[in-house]
Amino acid sequence: MRVLLTGSNGYIGSVMSRMLLEAGHHVVGLDTGLFRDCTFGDEPPDDHTIRKDIRDVRAEDLAGFDAVIHLAALCNDPLGSMNPELTAEINYRASVRLAWLARSAGVPRFIFASSCSLYGVAGQEMLDETAPFNPITPYGLSKVQVEQEVARLATDDFSPTFMRNATAYGVSPRLRLDLVVNNLVAAAYATGDVLIQSDGTPWRPLVHVEDFSRAFIAVLHAPRELVHNQAFNVGRTSENYRVSEIAEIVRELVPGSRIRYAEGAGPDPRSYRVDCSKLETLLPEYKPQWTVRRGVEELVAAFDRYGMTPEDFAGHRYFRIRNIQRLQREGRLDENLRWRDGSPALAAVAG
């Protein structure tokens, strides 16, 4: 298939593009390049990428593709809360417009990177795809809005699928450390402290970035009738953890580290557990291979190879908000997250 991958230079997109190519697909990326230089380890290839903000996509950009995989967005709860109106503009309105343009251009498949954040506050209950939405952040709300509006665009010729992703972790050529597993491992490795920002009780569903990508590829390969206008929780049902449990795994696997709670740490209302059995049952091609323990081991090995210093952990390169704030301080991005220097404007990358 000929696939357009938005957010192709992000944390997830950099892994997914490689895996799509390995699966035999022709991949064209679409990305502003905001995080293109936020690399970790070996420089990733950056071929066949359209430099464009998703707010500026036109129908001709989408012509001739068999599928659009849409990852690009302001990419997590803290970043989405930095400017709620911009989150609505980029994550919600630009995403719905992209789907509408894809349908108009004759693209038959549209796979949207939604999020389990749309479940919001859920406590102990195990949630499947029929669970009610209860978003408590602009990011989570934007995912609900896109799902609801894009579902109404479905036709016999345009088939959307909604991937409600668990929190990602694992090594990527464009690493992020503002994700709970990656953050705890990097903190432990760089400083010796497995630093927990909450009271440790919140539940998080987790998925390795490669298994995340495997799920999208399985949907891409699936018969249309199995995935048409369907939502899927993406991860493994067995991979729901309390933050304190993640921290204990990190402490065991990072030599000399110790668990420490941030000063004033308290409960985090974002707590949910998800049931991912629908994806594994309906799409047998989806065979997740990772557990959090293996992922922590992978991260430690990568830090042994490429390094992770206290300066790296305190810097901007691996933290999306810090990188955006740096670009704004330098006068390169304006208040609407558009480049000031004539470069393609911001389509912040999910992943």
- pTM exceeding the 0.85 threshold for the entire prediction: yes
Query: Kind and range of the H or E element at 194?
Result: strand 193-196
Q: Where are the alpha helices (DSSP H) in 163-291?
A: 180-191, 209-221, 224-227, 243-253, 277-282
Is 80 exceeded by the pLDDT of residue 264?
no
- Contact by Cβ (8 Å): 73, 92: no
Q: Determine the topology of domain 2-176+206-239+270-290+320-329 in CATH.
A: Rossmann fold (3.40.50)
Beta bridge partners of 298: none
pLDDT confidence of residue 346: 40
- From the number of C-beta atoms within 10 Å of its C-beta (0-12, 13-18, 19+), residue 157 rates as exposed
C-alpha angle 148-142-315 in degrees, rounded to nearest 5? 150
- Tell me the average pLDDT across 20-36: 93
CA-wise closest residue to 182 among 91, 76, 286: 76
**200 vs 184, more confident:** 184
pLDDT of residue 43: 77
| Residue 340: band (very low, low, confident or very high) from pLDDT cuts 50, 70, 90 | confident
What is the Cα–Cα distance from 94 to 221, expressed in whole angstroms? Answer: 26
Sign (positive or negative) of CA dihedral 144, 109, 287, 252: negative
Across 9-18, 29-38, 145-154, 241-250, least confident range = 29-38
Least confident of 26-35, 36-45, 98-107: 36-45
Backbone angles phi, psi at 10, to 5 degrees: -90, -175
Q: pLDDT (tens digit, 9 = 90+) per residue, 294-310?
A: 999 999 999 999 999 99
Backbone angles phi, psi at 298, to 5 degrees: -60, -45
Tokens of 104: 């108009």
What's phi and psi for 162, nearest 5 deg?
-115, 115
Per-state percent for the chain, helix, strand, coil, to nearest 5: 40, 20, 40
CA angle 321–89–202, rounded 5-degree value: 50
Residue 174, judged by CB atoms within 10 A of its CB (0-12, 13-18, 19+), counts as buried
Domain layout of the chain by residue ranges? 2-176+206-239+270-290+320-329
Mean pLDDT over each residue of the chain, to the nearest integer? 92
